[in-house]
Amino acid sequence: MHDGGRPVLEVQGLKTVFRVRGGEIHAVNDVSFDLKPGELLGVVGESGSGKSVTMMSLLGLLPSPPAEVRDGKVLLDGQDLLKTDEDTLRDIRGGKVGFIFQDPMTSLNPVFTVGYQIMEPLRKHMGMDKKAAKARAVELLELVGIPGAAQRLSDYPHQFSGGMRQRVMIAIALACDPKVLIADEPTTALDVTIQAQIIELMKELRQKLGMAVIWITHDLGVIAGIADRVMVMYGGQVVEHAPVRELFGNPQHPYTKALLKTVPSVRGERVRRLTIIEGQPPILGAPPSACPFRDRCGSAVDECARRNPSRTAIGKGHDVACVLVEQKEAAHA
């Protein structure tokens, strides 16, 4: 639905490592993706798969040291963010790119009013005076559906409920009309009814404002309902990438298949036990020289230990990084 148009964000070969005592941890390994204007890209994977680190790397939000973005290109409107200086990056953060984080209970500063926190980026990036920023802040709170917006500006975060605080976070992220919104598990910390409200709000806002969204989550149900495209990450790399219907209808990577199986269903026969994927995601001390999923993969073959498969296109907008899929494709050709 959002085909065509130059991508607003292009990431190529991103590599991020953390320097730790006695070595390095390779958290992001050769990640590439793009984001078209107005599109919603879902990023899924379990904890430790490198989803958040990837997105934080884009705009230098990781503490350095220990983090170091070692390689790659991050093109936002054609400008390489990894090569710009800190000042420019700072203007982009909260300006062209907005962020929403997981826990709204701790993401707002408890000692400043909500109004102050919304007005802060407006005054810095848009150069608004106090009056204009205040008017815009009221507008933003109304936009995210907070009743009595004008009165609530002088309230402190603790006077809001969890869902309302996440709405405030969204208002802050949207303050300067960002082109890209990075939402890092924005609904994980909320209870289910509030979660649904926030998702509805995001859908509505995306249509109204036309920004592109990167939505990081480990909740496949959320992704199915909101994303245009999905990127599955494992071991700091992209293992499968496809339009949302294709991914849920025709998953190819064993990890994606396993992930989809873990979603409990209320339909059909009552499951005896919930499905799990045995084992832990790997902690990579070196760039992976083999498929990172092989130890937990039910269908691993010898070749999986010999090389790390690269992403192979298998259909329109669908690519997979798996030795088995490569072999199957080769047999077809």
Interface residues toward other proteins, by CB under 8 A:
59, 61, 90-95, 98-99, 101, 103, 106-112, 120-121, 124-125, 156, 158, 169, 172
CB of 81 to other proteins, least distance (A): 13
Cα 215 to its chain centre, rounded Å, is: 4
CB 80 within 8 A of CB 11: no
In which element (H, E) is residue 315 found? strand 312-315
Q: Which is nearer to other proteins, 120 or 326 (CB)?
A: 120
Judged by beta carbon, residue 28 or residue 220, the one nearer other proteins is: 28
Measured from the CB atom, the residue of 109 and 262 that comes closer to other proteins is: 109
Q: CB of residue 122 vs other proteins: minimum separation in angstroms? A: 10
CB of 97 or CB of 194, closer to other proteins: 97
Least separation in angstroms between residue 99's CB and other proteins is: 4
Which is nearest to 98 in space by CA: 163, 183, 34?
Answer: 183
CB atoms under 10 Å from CB of 148, counted, come to 10
* DSSP-H helix ranges across 36-148: 51-58, 86-92, 104-107, 114-125, 130-143
Smallest gap from residue 21 Cβ to other proteins (A): 12
**Residue among 109 and 299 whose Cβ is closer to other proteins:** 109
Closer Cβ to other proteins, 156 or 248, answer by number = 156
H/E element holding 247?
Answer: helix 244-249
Q: 94 vs 236, which CB is nearer to other proteins? A: 94
Q: Which CA distances in Å does 291 have to 95, 116, 185, 300?
A: 38, 48, 26, 9
The structure tokens 């958040």 sit at 52
CB of 108 to other proteins, least distance (A): 6
Structure-block tokens of residue 50:
């490198």
Nearest partner of 215 among 203, 206, 223, judged by Cα: 223
- The number of residues in the chain equals 333
CB of 66 to other proteins, least distance (A): 12
Q: If residue 331 lies in a helix (H) or strand (E), which one and from where to where?
A: helix 323-332
Answer whether 247's CB lies under 8 Å from 240's CB.
yes
Taking residue 162's Cβ as centre, other Cβ atoms within 10 Å add up to 15
**Helix or strand or coil: residue 304?**
helix
- Taking residue 308's Cβ as centre, other Cβ atoms within 10 Å add up to 18
CB of 235 to other proteins, least distance (A): 24
Q: Give 58 or 291: the residue with its C-beta nearer to other proteins.
A: 58
Contact by Cβ (8 Å): 48, 279 = no
Our separate counts of H helices and E strands in the chain read 13, 12
Using the minimum distance from each CB to other proteins, give the nearer residue, 6 or 158.
Answer: 158
